[in-house]
A and B are shown apart, each in its own frame.
Chain A
Amino acid sequence: MKNLKLILILAAVMGLSACQSKVEYGDATEVETVNENFGSTDLQAIAAKMVDSMMAFPPVVVMTQSNRPIVFVDKIKNKTSEHIDTESVTDSISNKLLRSGKFRFIDMTKVDTVRKQLDYQNNAGMVDPSTAIKFGRQIGAQYMLYGNLSSIVKQDGSTKDVYYKMTMRLMDLETGLIEWSDEKEIRKMKSKSFLGL
């Protein structure tokens, strides 16, 4: 009997010492279901669908056949009840589009930095004028990419259902027409367990 108690205590001590918190690398594209909030899998799913849809859309195919249109990305309006970094969604989408070789992009968030740099190159008197980049030589954008992310949350006791809808549009700046539009819907459901800690 005494030996049994000793063995049990030993087993408990060994078990507890093995239960340390550990860090390990996971697969970035793996499905993540930690909780029902907006997550990495949702971001990847949205970016993939938007890009595939835009590249396969017939008018866009015609548009990109002979030249590469110049696009700038306006922000995605976050109409959900979570603080989501929508800029990372647009970054993923514009990255994929750029790397397809069919589009060229302008980054509107860097305009002030560039202006300061060009001002320094031209007016500070420290840069060789023959190597300085002159003002007024940048290429203008032809299209604007923007969108909305909205959600509907329904909660009832032990079930919570979150529905995300991401809508994106491509607008021709000259004519004002929307050349492409698509939406991606995601539903996440969470149910509370009956027994737990």
Chain B
Amino acid sequence: MLRTFCIGLILSLSLSGCAFNSVFVNYPSQIAPFKQQLNSETPAANITDLANNISGNDGLLYAQESGRIMQVAGDFTRSKTYYQQAIDAYQRFDDKAIVSASKLGAGASSLLLNDNAIPYRGPGYERIMLHQYQALNYLFSGDIQGALVEVRRSNELQSLEQARYQQSQKSVQDMANGVIDDQVERLGKEAGNVTSSFLNAYSYYTTGLLHELANEPNDAFIDYRKAAQITPDNVFLQQDLVRLAKQLSMPQYDEFKRRWGEATLPTAGQGQVIFIIEKGFVPEKQSITVPFPINGNIQSASLATYLPQHPLANNNQIQGLDAPLTAQAIANIDALAINALKEDLPAALFRQAARVYAKYQMNRSVQNSDQRANNQVDAAAMVMQIFNVITEQADRRSWLTLPRQAQIARQFIDAGSYNIHLNNSKNVKIDVTANRTTLIWAIETGNRTRFYSIII
């Protein structure tokens, strides 16, 4: 029995590759030093340590993290290559056969070790955000056509990922019809409002924004409507819808005007300034481990969970323009992450039960009842139990350098130079040109805010 177990373990390990990253060291502690580095002057100092893991089992996840860190650091070119590696990794997952030997091997390894042995393939919203960030990379490198390619790819994936998640049927159906629901508007505003983990208003807003910047108002209108179905209270989004409905002579113009007021259009000599503000980091998963004995053998079960989150400080004022501008939240990424975990829970519980059974069988197989009868120490059984308990780690992997909340602000202001600052960040000089748009991307990580701006 032990021999069969060993052969089985070696076979499944060889089929799924041996470069396990998080099987014994939990993932959040691996990423913590890199998140800490983001608060310093040199945010990408230790990036090669992180990027070396891209060739391993969880290469997709490390590529996403590396790309995001380089993006926050402002090196959009290198961020593009890392994100491209993550995109290729997703493509490889897509191309795997329906019954794939390596997937089965990984599943078998996870029965004997823990869920971290299964290669990481993130929830749908991570894949969409990957393409959204890649589009911003292209935009800030000056290639708006490339940005639009990524936007189109992200739209294709929305429908694909939409098919993967069957929960919250009604919101999904409404969104597909472009209906902005009065009922949805009346509901309360907490994490529970987001009923599915891929309904990400931030992604829809960014793709709509890129369409609008590339002079495709019709496509922008469609994306803004989808964003408004998820976050109907955002005044800037409401303004965008009214303005575009008027510009395109859409039949919904009267209804939007009635609900949200008349469109404000720029006067001569005015330019547009758009702020995208990202705050904080998504929460890390925590683990709950419960040890219990079965027939005298110690087993343990370990599951991932999220602790209750303290609400984000509500300060989001941009000072330095003609009048202070208050940004409004468009999406709470932490709500998406919590929902993704909730949706994954049935499968995780099933795997946990199977794993407890497999490890119990292993324990039994090495038990030596003679030694126990003589009150001697059963060394093999003890080693096996220790192995089983130590390898029982929860799957705490997720894209940790994503922001916790995204906010937007837009305004038409007179052309000129302004010195703005966000809450208590440093002053940053921005230029506004008549009839053109200045896009400012503010990324707030801990105690430091970085601003990237481009005039389109």
Chain A residues near B (Cβ < 8 Å):
35, 77-83, 153, 155-156, 158, 192-197
- Which residues of A lie under 8 Å from residue B152 when comparing CB positions? 79-81
Q: Which residue of B lies closest to A37 (CB)?
A: B91
Pairwise interchain contact A193-B97, C-beta atoms closer than 8 A: yes
For A155, what are the chain B residues with a Cβ–Cβ distance below 8 Å?
A: 156, 160
Is B100 interfacial (CB 8 A cutoff)?
A: yes
Closest to A150 in B: B152
Q: Is B426 an interface residue (CB 8 A)?
A: no
Expressed in whole angstroms, the Cα–Cα distance for A30 and B58 within the complex equals 37
Number of interface residues of B (CB under 8 A): 18
Residue B99 is within 8 A (CB to CB) of chain A in the complex? yes
Residues on A with C-beta less than 8 A from B98 are 158, 192-195
Across-interface contacts of A192 in B (CB, < 8 A): 95-98
Number of A-B contacts (CB under 8 A): 45
A-side contacts of B97, CB under 8 Å: 192-197
Instruction: Give me 27 A-to-B residue pairs in the complex whose CB atoms sit less than 8 angstroms apart, sorted by A's number.
Output: A77-B145, A80-B152, A81-B152, A81-B153, A81-B155, A81-B156, A82-B149, A83-B146, A153-B156, A155-B156, A155-B160, A158-B98, A192-B95, A192-B96, A192-B97, A192-B98, A193-B97, A193-B98, A194-B98, A195-B97, A195-B99, A195-B101, A196-B96, A196-B100, A196-B101, A197-B100, A197-B101
Which partner residue on chain B sits nearest A196 by CB separation?
B97
A77 to B97, CA, bound (A): 34
Interface string of B97-117 (1 = CB under 8 A from A): 111111000000000000000
Docked Cα-Cα span, A194 to B152, in Å, equals 29
Binding site for A on B (CB under 8 A): 95-102, 145-146, 148-149, 152-153, 155-156, 160, 163
Q: Identify the closest chain A residue to B216 (Cβ).
A: A79
Q: Report the Cα distance A82→B101, complex, angstroms.
A: 30
CA of A104 to CA of B98, assembled, Å: 53
- State in angstroms the CA–CA spacing of A82 and B87 once bound together: 12
B138 — nearest CB in chain A belongs to which residue?
A83
Closest 4 CB pairs of A and B: A196-B97, A81-B152, A81-B153, A193-B97
CB distance from B160 to the nearest CB of A (A): 6
Q: How far is the CA of A82 from the CA of B149 in the complex (A)?
A: 6
A77 proximity list for chain B (CB < 8 A): 145
Specify the chain A residue showing the minimal Cβ separation from B155: A81
Query: B215 → chain A, closest Cβ, in Å?
Result: 12
CB distance from B353 to the nearest CB of A (A): 27
A197 is contacted by which of B102, B148, B153 (Cβ under 8 Å)? Answer: B102
- Contact in complex: B95, A83 (CB < 8 Å): no
Q: Which residues of A contact B101 (CB under 8 A)?
A: 195-197
Identity of the chain B residue whose Cβ is nearest the Cβ of A155 in the assembled complex: B160
A192 to B93: give the CA distance in the assembly, Å: 11
In the assembled complex, the CB of B153 is this many whole angstroms from the nearest CB of chain A, namely 4
- Interface-centre pick from B96, B102, B149 (highest chain A CB count, 10 A): B149
Indicate which residue in B100, B149, B163 contacts A78 across the interface (CB closer than 8 Å): B149
Q: Measured between C-beta atoms, what is the minimum distance from A38 to chain B in Å?
A: 11
Contacts of A194 on B, CB cut-off 8 Å?
97-99
The reply to whether B149 and A81 form a contact with Cβ atoms under 8 Å apart is yes
Query: Which chain B residues border A195 with CB–CB below 8 Å?
Result: 97-101
- Please name the residue on chain B nearest to A190 by beta carbon: B95
Known contacts A196-B96, A196-B100; can you find 16 more A-B pairs with CB under 8 A?
A77-B145, A78-B149, A80-B152, A81-B153, A81-B156, A82-B149, A83-B149, A156-B163, A192-B95, A192-B97, A193-B97, A195-B99, A195-B100, A195-B101, A196-B97, A197-B100
Closest chain B CB from A45 CB (angstroms):
21
Q: How far is the CA of A35 from the CA of B101 in the complex (A)?
A: 21
Q: Which residues of B contact A197 (CB under 8 A)?
A: 97, 100-102
Closest to A152 in B: B156
Give every chain B residue within 8 A of A158 (Cβ-Cβ). 98
Q: B156: which A residues are within 8 A, CB to CB? A: 81, 153, 155
A196 to B155, CA, bound (A): 29
Which A residues are CB-close (under 8 A) to B146?
Answer: 83
Q: In whole angstroms, what is the CA distance A155 to B98 when docked?
A: 15
Residue of A nearest to B159 (CB): A155
| B97 and chain A: residue at smallest CB distance | A196
For A80, the chain B residues whose CB sits under 8 A away are: 149, 152
The closest CB in chain B to the CB of A197 belongs to B101
Residues of A within 8 Å of B100, CB to CB, are 195-197
| Cα of A158 to Cα of B102 in the assembled complex, Å | 18
Q: B153: which A residues are within 8 A, CB to CB?
A: 81-82
**Which of chain A's residues has its CB closest to B15's CB?**
A197
- Nearest Cβ distance between residue A77 and chain B, in whole angstroms? 8
Q: A156 → chain B, closest Cβ, in Å? A: 8
Output the least CB separation between B119 and chain A (Å): 14
Instruction: Kindly state the separation between the CA atoms of A80 and B97 in the bound complex, as whole angstroms.
Output: 26
Docked complex Cα distance between A197 and B95 (Å): 10
Q: Which residues of A lie under 8 Å from residue B148 when comparing CB positions?
A: 79
A158–B94 CA distance with the chains assembled, in angstroms: 9
**Complex Cα spacing A155 to B95, Å:** 12
A47 to B16, CA, bound (A): 44
Expressed in whole angstroms, the Cα–Cα distance for A5 and B69 within the complex equals 53
Cα distance, A97 to B100, chains bound together (Å): 48
Residue of B nearest to A35 (CB): B95
> In the complex, what distance in Å separates the CA atom of A80 from the CA atom of B153?
8
Q: Which chain B residue shows the least CB distance to A36?
A: B95
The residues of A that contact B163 with a CB separation of less than 8 Å are 156
In the complex, how many angstroms separate the beta carbon of A147 from the nearest chain B beta carbon?
Answer: 14
* Most A-side CB within 10 Å, residue of B148, B152, B155: B152
CB distance from A102 to the nearest CB of B (A): 31
A residues within 8 A CB of B155?
81
